[in-house]
Amino acid sequence: MLFDTHVHLNARQFMEDRDEVIERAQQAGVQYMVVVGFNTETIPLAIEIAEKNEKIYAAVGWHPVDAIYYKEKHLDFIKELSTHEKVVALGEMGLDYHWDTSPKDVQESVFRKQIQLAKEINMPIIIHNRKATDDVIKILQEENAKEVGGIMHCYSGTVSDVKTCLDMNFHISLGGPVTFKNAPEVKEVAKIIPLDRLLIETDAPYLAPHPHRGKRNEPAYVTLVAKEIAKLKDMDYEALCRITTENALKLFRIK
């Protein structure tokens, strides 16, 4: 039994065959998923998908790439939807210094407002971090995000940053890059994450694991992520599946 903690079934890449993708995931043992919405287009669809599937849940937030389009009404929109029975986290939120779409100060403001909302409603947060680790950590510490904790999604920090994230009450989630042959840092990260703070994900349709790298990712491939981590940790694959699923159910407060 596997839990893909971060998937974009609401992406346009799945518009033609979403039901088949979900079926393949279930056949592969992926019983639970969280579909992440991050703007006005993807949030309603994330909830719609969750409503139609018993073990699929949703997260709602505002992506840093879309921060330039943020208005105050969007925070009210997210807050209202956070009460939906299938919404289990706020996010993804954070900083992205790779895509030059939103000024850094705008990204930071939108990020801080979402952390503050999460603390107000007591809900875990999902962090997007691309080439911005130091600033992400600084903001999480300044906003005392430790109160709610959450997930460092598709962790891209260094080995030395892991303890800092754990100390801030965050889980570390690994995806396709842990299977890449040219990604030694994330493999070392996988080895040191405590089992009770480890999560797995696909971020599908992006970041497909080896041997599907460069192609459309899908939640069934989270099995490849789990197998690689089990190998790196020198542990039983089924045990890793069980532990990471239990971790996710506990974090998202799913009974």
Domain ranges of the chain: 2-251
* Single pTM value for the model: 0.97
The per-residue pLDDT for range 128-144, each reduced to its tens digit, is 999 999 999 999 999 99
In a 13 Å sphere around the CA of 27, the CA atoms on its Cβ side amount to 7
How far apart CA 92 and CA 60 sit, in angstroms, is: 7
Q: Which fold has domain 2-251?
A: TIM Barrel (3.20.20)
How far apart CA 194 and CA 216 sit, in angstroms, is: 30
The per-residue pLDDT for range 229-255, each reduced to its tens digit, is 999 999 999 999 999 999 999 999 998
Closest to 151 in 3D by CA, of 5, 1, 3: 5
How far apart CA 135 and CA 129 sit, in angstroms, is: 9
pLDDT tens, position by position, for the chain (255 residues)? 999 999 999 999 999 999 999 999 999 999 999 999 999 999 999 999 999 999 999 999 999 999 999 999 999 999 999 999 999 999 999 999 999 799 999 999 999 999 999 999 999 999 999 999 999 999 999 999 999 999 999 999 999 999 999 999 999 999 999 999 999 999 999 999 999 999 999 999 999 999 999 999 999 999 999 999 999 999 999 999 999 999 999 999 998
Cβ neighbours of residue 60 under 8 Å, at least 6 residues apart? 37, 43, 46, 47, 78, 81, 82, 87, 90, 91
Structure tokens at 8: 């974009």
The continuous run of DSSP H or E covering 88 comes out as strand 87-96
DSSP state of 131: S
**Number of helices followed by number of strands (H, E) in the chain:** 9, 8
Residue 60 pairs with which residues in a beta bridge?
Answer: 37, 90
Structure tokens at 130: 């691309």
Residue 17 CB neighbours (<10 A):
12
Structure tokens at 234: 């020198």
Three-state DSSP at 196 gives helix
Could you tell me where the DSSP H helices lie in 133-180? 133-142, 159-167
Cα separation values, 244 from 234, 249, 251, Å:
15, 9, 11
Three-state DSSP at 130 gives strand
